[in-house]
């Protein structure tokens, strides 16, 4: 697997964890007393945070709220110029 494939796999983990958090949140909107769902929500939040942290440490920030050591992303090619994102 090349580096882009690893990055894509890492992004899939972020997106699936984010989907799970959103989905269980919608469920909890109508079932706020469901203790199992609340536990799942906490688990999915942890999975999301872990996947996001791994992605950002290895491939760059996912949002403007991510901590950054440098502001060099503006020098990379934009997606329409053939860049990664």
For each of the domains in the chain, give its residue range(s) and CATH number, in order of start: 3-81 (1.10.287)
User: What is the reported pTM?
Assistant: 0.79
Q: What is the pLDDT of residue 64?
A: 76
- Scored b (16 or more CB within 10 A) or e, 15-53 reads eebbebbeebeeeeeeeeeeeeeeebbeebeebbeebbe
Segment 14-57, tens digit of pLDDT: 999 999 999 999 999 999 999 999 999 999 999 999 999 999 99
Q: Please answer whether residues 12 and 5 qualify as being in contact, where contact means their C-beta atoms are separated by less than 8 angstroms.
A: no
């Amino acid at each position: 697997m090349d580096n882009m494939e690893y990055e894509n796999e890492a992004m899939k983990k972020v997106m699936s964890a984010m989907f799970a958090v959103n989905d269980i949140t919608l469920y909890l909107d109508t079932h706020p007393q469901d203790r199992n769902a609340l536990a799942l929500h906490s688990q999915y939040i942890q999975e999301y945070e872990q996947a996001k942290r791994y992605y950002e440490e290895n491939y760059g920030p996912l949002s403007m709220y991510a901590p950054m050591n440098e502001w060099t992303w503006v020098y990379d090619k934009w997606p329409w110029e053939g860049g990664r994102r």
